[in-house]
Amino acid sequence: MMSDIKDLYKNAENYHIIYYESSRGCPFGCSYCVSGISGGKVRAKNAETVLRELEFIENRHYSCENSKINIIKFCDRTFNFDIKRANAIYKGLIERAGSLPYQFEIYPVLFDEESFEILKNAPKDLFRFEIGVQSLNKRTLDAVGRKNFDIDKALENTARIKSFGNINIHAGLIAGLPFEDLKSFTSGFDLLYEKTKADFIQIGFLKLLRGTRIRKEAEAHGYIYEEAPPYGVLRNNYMSFEDLAFLRDTEKIYNRYSSKAFEKSFEYIYNGYFSGNVFKMLGLLAEYWRDNDFFSRPQSQKSVFEAFLNAFEKAGIVNGSGRFFLIELLERDFYDHDGKRLKLT
């Protein structure tokens, strides 16, 4: 009954994000995740309850005149663990088609044909998917307990959903997992980027959380990690401290230059000079930023645009007509994003 949840989200309209939990636990036993400690047990609300509670939250809080809410994020570890339940919730939200978007954490190999049929008809931007790929190294996946993870199916399913053009896709990889060296990680990033066309690829960095199996296996893999929370990995037998530092810098570069502000320029350089090897492109930018000490101090938007040009010019990637065309694209991107003119020489 409605009275059972009337105070569940008291004053929720004062926040931009509502975190909603429709299940607890996880059917998988990934060695790095505290949810894996549950032994595969999951407790979940049925689809009817979830849809009723979400409708209650929206009617009570989002409809308020001064509501700040702009998204409801499901904090379930694996939302689509029960595909029939997930499909029923997708379908119910599509039929109601409110103004709020919903975000889900998704296990990419669990979609079925009914899922695809439902999702391709969703209103644009109603759903956002956080897809945990974590690694594309088979030995790594086996070591952390994702032995039944079908890499090809994960890539195919993610690409298929992205092809609908109506769902925002964030895919995730974790740096620092067992048997994943720098070459393996960057190859996985390139493959994920090229095959899925995900809107964004999140690089997470492994944390050896208390109670997890991977923390108990730390000595076997040579892990050195922070002694205080969040227990971030500093190095292991497969990646040095320098490797992980490089990945952190490259993550910052990717966050900066894969944005809408560089849409035309990024696409031109990638397709024209680095197709299939986006991490090499990002690494070149990271090296330029390091060499010029850009990471240690704030940069203006103008200097960030100039750095994009200078990095590829210095490396001999663009010259002549290619350089002038990149300048034109950068100036156009700058104007489209900032509404100001930028003069590059």
The reported pLDDT for the residue numbered 61 is: 77
Q: Tell me, what's the pLDDT at 328?
A: 97
Q: How confident is the model at residue 3 (pLDDT cuts 50, 70, 90)?
A: very low
Of 36-50, 231-245, 270-284, 325-339, the poorest mean pLDDT is in 36-50
Tell me the C-alpha distance between 273 and 123, whole Å.
Answer: 35
**C-alpha dist (Å) from residue 259 to 113, 296, 310:** 32, 21, 19
Q: What is the pLDDT of residues 249-266, one digit of tens each?
A: 999 999 999 999 999 999
Q: Average pLDDT of 72-84?
A: 95
CA-closest candidate to residue 29, choices 133, 147, 150, 172: 147
pLDDT at 59: 82
The residue ranking higher by pLDDT, 35 or 211, is 211
Q: Predicted confidence band at 15 (pLDDT cuts at 50, 70, 90)?
A: confident
Position 10 scores a pLDDT of: 64
Tell me the pLDDT band of 5, cut-offs 50, 70 and 90: very low
User: Residue 40 has what pLDDT?
Assistant: 78
* pLDDT tens for each residue of 25-48: 999 999 999 987 777 789 999 999
pLDDT at 205: 98
Segment 153-178 mean pLDDT: 98
Average pLDDT over residues 235-249: 98
Q: What is the pLDDT of residue 1?
A: 34
pLDDT tens digit sequence for 294-322: 999 999 999 999 999 999 999 999 999 99
Kindly report the pTM of this predicted structure: 0.92
